[in-house]
Structure 1
C-alpha cells in the first residue's frame, strides 16, 4: 500500500515537473540581418522615440558607473537583495546588442519576458508592466531602437547566486506573479484617465519604483503605489497615503512631471530627477496630463484638497516664524545659518525657486532618508527646477549637524512623531554617497 502511495506521489511529481517544463520552454527565434533604417518611416521612428522616452529606456540601459557608457548600450548596475544585475545592450549591434532580433522576438521579450534565444528574462526588466503595451507601441519602439547607433559593448555578468542564476526558475516566478495581457480600458473612466492608466501601469512602469516588493522581489499588489526604497532613496506613496499636508493635485503632478518642480511640493531629486528632465519633457504634453489626471484620481485629490489652504497658510507662518525675533534654540540657529536663506518663504505661497520644506515629502516620510540625501548630494542646475542649484553640504555638515537640522525641522514643520537614531541614520546615508559632488559646499 505504501509503495503504491509513494509511486502515485512520484508519478504526480513527474507529471508536474513535465508540465512545468512545458510551461517554461520557449523556442529560440531565428536571428535576422539588422533591419535597414530605411525600412521604417520617419513617423514611426518618431512615435518610437516617444514610447522610449515614456518608458525611460535610456535610464536603465545606459551604464552610469565606471565613467558611464554609451546610451542604450546597457551594463547599468541594479543592486537587488539577490545580487547585482546588469542591464542588456539594446542598441542594434548584432553581436552584443539586439541587432539580429526580429520584430517578433522583440514583441515576445516585451509581452512575455522571454529573450530571442528562448531564455526567461529577469524581472528587473519590468515585462510585467510592458506586457500591457499595445502591439503598435512595441512596433514603434522597435523601429526607434533599430535606428539608433549600434554600439559593441558587452554587459558584466549578473551576480546572482546559484540557483537564482538559473533562468528556468524565472518561469516559476512568472507562475506566481505574472499575468500577461495588453491593458484593457476601464469603461467607468474617460479616455484621458485610461490613457494615463495605460502609460502609468504599462510603459512608464511607475509601480516598479513606487510599490513595495515582497521577499521574492515582486510588487505587492495589495500595496500598489504605497512607496518603496529605490537606490537608497524613498519613492513616496502616489496614492491617498502620501503624507504631505497639501494634496498632490492634477496640476501639481503635471508641473512636477513635465518641468521637474511642483509649486507647493518642490523639485524632483535623486532617481526621480531624470524622469521629468530627460524624458517626460520631450513627449506630447497631453500624455503627461493623462498621467497626472490618473494619479490625481488615484490619490482622491478632489476629495482631499479642502484642507490645503489652511495647510499652506500654516507652512508660510512656520517659515516666517523661524526667522523673526530672537531665537535661543541652537538647532534653529544651525538651520538658519545653513538652510534658511534659500528656504524662507512668506505668504501667500512659496516662491517657485525656494521650496518650502514644511510642504515637502522629505519631512513627512517615516524616515529622514530623502532629506539626508538632498543635503549630501545637493541638486545641480540640471536637476530639480531648471537652472536653480542647491550645493552639496557633504563636507560642510557633519552627521551630528544633519541630525540636529532633521530633528528641528521634523518638530517645527510637521505634526508627526520625531524621527529616531538620527545621527546613526545620517552616517548610514552618507555611506551610500559614492563621491563628493563637484558643487560641494565648503
Structure 2
C-alpha cells in the first residue's frame, strides 16, 4: 500500500470513528436512577392543585386514558402516518407507570422526550411544545401526577414498521426539529397576552393539532396555526386563514373555550370537545389569556372580512327559505334539521344557524359529516346544545345529499367533491373513535379529584 493510500485509509477510519462517536453522543442518554414512589402527603396541597389545573390545560387525560379505563393509565392508540403509537401509563405505579421517576426524570421527559431509562420518546408526546414549560410548572405537574391513583397497566407494543420502530432513529428527528427554547416574554405586550402565549406554545400545545405537518411529522413552522388533521377531524385554521363566516374576537374565543359553544360560531365537537371540557375547570384568567393571545394571532379582520361577517349575521337573522336546488337534501333537511336550526329555539334544543357554521363553510366536509353522524351530547349540569346523531337513520347517500345541500344553501363557498366517500370514511372513523377514545365526552380531567387538591 502506498503512502497516499495509507493516508486515505487512515482518514476514512478517523471519519468513521468520529461519525460513530457523534452518533453515539446524539443518541445515548443515561439512565436516571429509580426512586421509591413518594408518599402523596410529601407534596404541598397548593402545588397539587396547581398541577391539576396545568394538566387540564394540557389535556393530559385525553391522550393517556382509554374509554372505560382508569385515568392516566395510558394505552390509547394514536394513529400516525407511520403506524399506531400507544400512549404511556403516567400514574405513579412503580412497575408500569412513573412511580419510580424522580422529578429530574420527569422534567427530562418533558423537555427532551427521553424516559427515565434513557429511551427516546416518540413525538406524539408533544415535548416539542413542553420544552417551553417552566421548572415551576413541571414541578406542579409532577406533584399532581404522583398523587393520582396508581394503576398497573403495562404498555402496549407500538405498531410501527422498521426502521422507525427503532427508538434511536427518533434522535435524528429531534436533531432536525426539536428546539429546546424556553418561552421568552415579549416586553411590548401585556402580562395577559404573554400568559396566553406561554400556555399556547407550551402546555396547551394548540399548534400540535392546528398546524399542518411535513412529511416527517414535524409542524411546519412557516404555516403556524394554518389548520391540521387529528382523528379524522379538521382542526381549523386559527390564523387569518380561518374559514369562520364571522371573524373571531377575544370575547367570542373566551366564551367558546369556557363553555364549548358560541351563538355566532357553533359547538365544540370531536377532540376539541374534550379540550373545552378540561378548560372549564381551570382558572378563568388562564382561559381569558389564551383567548386574548389567539385573537391576536388571527389578526384584525380586514374591511372586506368584516363585511363578510356582517353579511353572514344578517343572513342568519333573516327569514330562511328552503332551496329546491337539491330536492333530496332539502327534504332531509326539512325533516331532520330545520325544527332546531331555524326556529330560534333556546338552548338546549336550539341549533346554531348554519349560515354561521364553520363546518359548513370549511374547505373540508369531514367535521360536518362527523357531527351529523355522531350528534352533540348534553353536558351534565349545563344548559348546553344537544343534537341527535343520524348514523343509524341515514345511509351514506342520504348523508351526502344532506351535506351537499347544506353547503349550497348556507355558504358562499364552492361545492365539495367526493362527499359520499368522506361520509363513508367518517362513519368508520367515528366507530373506531367511540371504541378507543378517552371516556365520555365532556368528562372532567379527573372525575375523582375535581373538587380536591
2:212 is equivalent to residue 212 of structure 1: yes
Partner residue of 2:262?
Answer: 262
Equivalent residues of 1:185, 1:194 under 8 A apart:
yes
CA spacing shift, 1:190–1:328, aligned 2, 3 Å: closer
Change (3 A) 1:361 1:37: same
Map of 2:310 onto structure 1: 309
Task: Note the alpha carbon deviations across 1:389-412, whole angstroms, 9 max, x for none.
Answer: 211101211211111111111112
Give how far 1:24 is off. Answer: 2.1
Structure 1 unmatched ranges of 5 or more: none
List aligned pairs for 1:414-433, cutoff 5 A. Answer: 414-433=411-430
Helix, strand or coil for the counterpart of 1:79?
A: strand
8 Å CA contact 2:267–2:385 kept in 1: the answer is no
CA distance in 2, matches of 1:328, 1:41: 63
| More moved, 399-408 vs 81-90 | 399-408
Deviation at 1:429, TM superposition (A): 1.8
Q: In the TM superposition, what are the counterparts of 1:240-251 in structure 2 within 5 Å?
A: 240-251=240-251
Corresponding position of 2:377: 380
Instruction: Tell me which residue corresponds to 2:30.
Output: 27
1:320 is paired with a residue whose SS is coil
Structure 2 CA distance for aligned equivalents of residues 248 and 88 of structure 1: 36
Question: Whole-Å Cα distance in 1 between the matches of residues 350 and 338 of structure 2?
Answer: 13
1: distance between equivalents of 2:296 and 2:22? Answer: 43
Distance 1:7 1:223 in 2: 46
Q: Secondary structure of the equivalent of 2:234?
A: strand
Q: CA deviation at 1:181?
A: 2.4
Q: TM-score, normalised by structure 2?
A: 0.89
Whether 1:36 and 2:39 are equivalent positions in the alignment is: yes
* Aligned ranges 1:229-378 → 2 under 5 Å: 229-277=229-277, 279-301=278-300, 306-307=306-307, 308-317=309-318, 320-322=320-322, 329-344=327-342, 353-378=350-375
Aligned partners of 1:299, 1:328: CA distance in 2, in Å? 35
C-alpha contact (below 8 Å) 1:76/1:87 kept by paired residues: yes
Counterpart secondary structure, 2:85: strand
| 1:92-107 superposed matches below 5 A | 92-107=92-107
Q: Hey, what's the Cα distance between the residues in 2 that align with 1:338 and 1:352?
A: 13
Structure 2 residues not aligned, in runs of 5+: 436-453
- Please report the RMSD computed on the Cα atoms of aligned residues, expressed in angstroms: 2.5
Deviations 1:272-307 (A, max 9, x none): 101112x10000001000000011000014656632
Superposition pairs for residues 53-132 of structure 1, below 5 Å? 53-64=56-67, 68-132=68-132
Q: Residues 3 and 215 of structure 1: is their aligned pair in 2 closer, same or farther, counting only changes over 3 Å? A: farther
> Is the alpha carbon distance of 1:396 and 1:336 closer, same or farther for their aligned partners in structure 2, counting shifts above 3 Å?
same
Shift of 1:363: 1.1
- The 3 A distance-change label for structure 1 pair 103 and 351 is closer
Which residue matches 2:53? 50
CA distance in 1: counterparts of 2:326 and 2:186, whole angstroms: 58
Shift of 1:309: 2.5
CA distance in 2, matches of 1:435, 1:193: 38
Q: 2:388 aligns with which of 380, 388, 391?
A: 391
Q: Between 296-305 and 391-400, report the one with greater CA deviation.
A: 296-305
Q: Distance in 1 between matches of 2:149 and 2:246?
A: 45
Looking at structure 2, the residues matched to 6 and 404 of structure 1 have their Cα atoms a distance apart, in angstroms, of 71
Among 11, 33, 40, the alignment partner of 1:8 is: 11
TM-score normalised by structure 1 residue count: 0.91
Higher relative contact order (CA closer than 8 Å, sequence separation 6+): 2
| Mapped contact 2:347–2:385 kept (Cα < 8 A) | no
**1:90–1:145: 8 Å Cα contact kept in structure 2?**
yes
Deviation at 1:229, TM superposition (A): 1.3
Aligned twin of 1:179 = 179
8 Å contact 1:91–1:99 — kept in the other structure? yes
Mean Cα displacement is larger for which, 140-149 or 297-306?
297-306
Matched, 1:434 2:418: no
Counterpart-to-counterpart distance in 1, 2:216 and 2:411: 35
Aligned to 1:137: 137
Indicate conservation of the 8 Å contact 2:363/2:416, yes or no: yes
Aligned length: 430
> In structure 2, do the counterparts of structure 1 residues 3 and 303 end up closer, same or farther at CA, with 3 Å as the change threshold?
farther
1:371 counterpart SS class? helix
1:400 paired to 2:401: no
Q: For 1:208-253, what per-residue CA distance to the aligned partner results, in whole angstroms no more than 9, with x for missing partners?
A: 1111111111111111111111101111101110111201111111
